[in-house]
Amino acid sequence: MAVNILAFGPNGSGKGTQGAIVKDKYGVDHIESGAIFREHIKGGTELGMKAKEYIDKGDLVPDDITIPMVLETLAKSKEKGWLLDGFPRSKAQAEALDKSLTEAGMKLSYVVEIVLDRQIAKDRIMGRRLCANDNNHPNHIAFEAIKPVEKDGKLVCRVCGGELSARADDQDEDAINKRHDIYYDTGTGTMAAVNYFKNAGGAKMISVDGSVSINEVTDAIMKELE
Ligand code: AMP
């Protein structure tokens, strides 16, 4: 059976970085809802144009756009297995995912949660930079281990020398606060989705402290994976 993993963590917790490491361990596909949206925006698709207005404000893209988009992507990775990152972000999305996995004959293997204080997460977000060549090349102006490098007076990706940019929604405090309001909401938000899968059982739940170094977080996760 393919390994299927859900990755949870507030924006700024290093979820993307850790997710990339975990997906390499199992050779599964890394499916990131935010990245799929950004691809659509880059490509100027209708879905991208619709999603952009929500993303720029830090609002969730409506479920009638998001849920089918993610479920279709997951179905394509059924054989290979997947690590899903950025979805589900609400209790409603968790329920939709759970139902669809059962229908599709897919099973969750692990639920990984990176736990991080809200203020720390916010400080981290504002310093991160996105590589034009690979979304999973970590670059952050405030972390020595993943600091971008300087080339011709410009900061470029420390992994591949690619061009760097800051996401518009990463530099906007209101947008960050909104994203975190959604994440830390235990009623209907992302924490409700985490708790949904905690209570559902079935998958192995792995909760790690995200305030330590990247390597320490990786070690803590790897110890729990089989
Ligand atoms: P991320 O890269 O995960 O921070 O996602 C960037 C933005 O894409 C979010 O702030 C939302 O506007 C949108 N987005 C990503 N995943 C979801 C989701 N599961 N449901 C609704 N909107 C999403």
Burial environment of residue 33 by CB neighbours within 10 A (0 to 12, 13 to 18, 19 or more): buried
Of 190, 9, 8, the closest CA to residue 93 belongs to 190
pLDDT per residue over 87-140, tens digit each? 999 999 999 999 999 999 999 999 999 999 999 999 888 888 999 999 889 899
**pLDDT score for 114:** 98
How far, in Å, from the CA of 100 to the mean position of ligand 1? 20
Of 88, 74, 86, 97, the closest CA to residue 19 belongs to 86
Q: Is the peptide bond before 62 cis (omega within 30 degrees of 0)?
A: no
Residue 165 pairs in a beta bridge with: 130
Using the predicted structure, report yes or no on whether residue 168 has a pLDDT greater than 90.
Answer: no
How far, in Å, from the CA of 61 to the mean position of ligand 1? 7
> What is the rounded distance in angstroms from the CA atom of residue 67 to the CA atom of residue 87?
9
Of 21, 217, 223, 42, the closest CA to residue 136 belongs to 21
pLDDT per residue over 31-73, tens digit each? 999 999 999 999 999 999 999 999 988 889 999 999 999 999 9
Three-class SS state of 78: coil
* Mean pLDDT of all residues belonging to the chain: 93
> What is the rounded distance in angstroms from the CA atom of residue 63 to the CA atom of residue 30?
21
> What is the rounded distance in angstroms from the CA atom of residue 117 to the CA atom of residue 139?
21
Topology at the third CATH level for domain 4-117+174-225: Rossmann fold (3.40.50)
Please report which confidence band the pLDDT of residue 213 belongs to, taking 50, 70 and 90 as the band edges.
confident
Using the predicted structure, report yes or no on whether residue 144 has a pLDDT greater than 90.
Answer: no
Is the Cβ atom of 86 under 6 angstroms away from ligand 1?
yes
**pLDDT score for 12:** 87
Regarding predicted confidence, which is higher, 9 or 57? 9
User: Domain-by-domain residue ranges, the chain?
Assistant: 4-117+174-225
How far, in Å, from the CA of 58 to the mean position of ligand 1? 8
Ligand 1 mutation target, pool 11, 61, 126, most atoms within 8 A of CB: 61
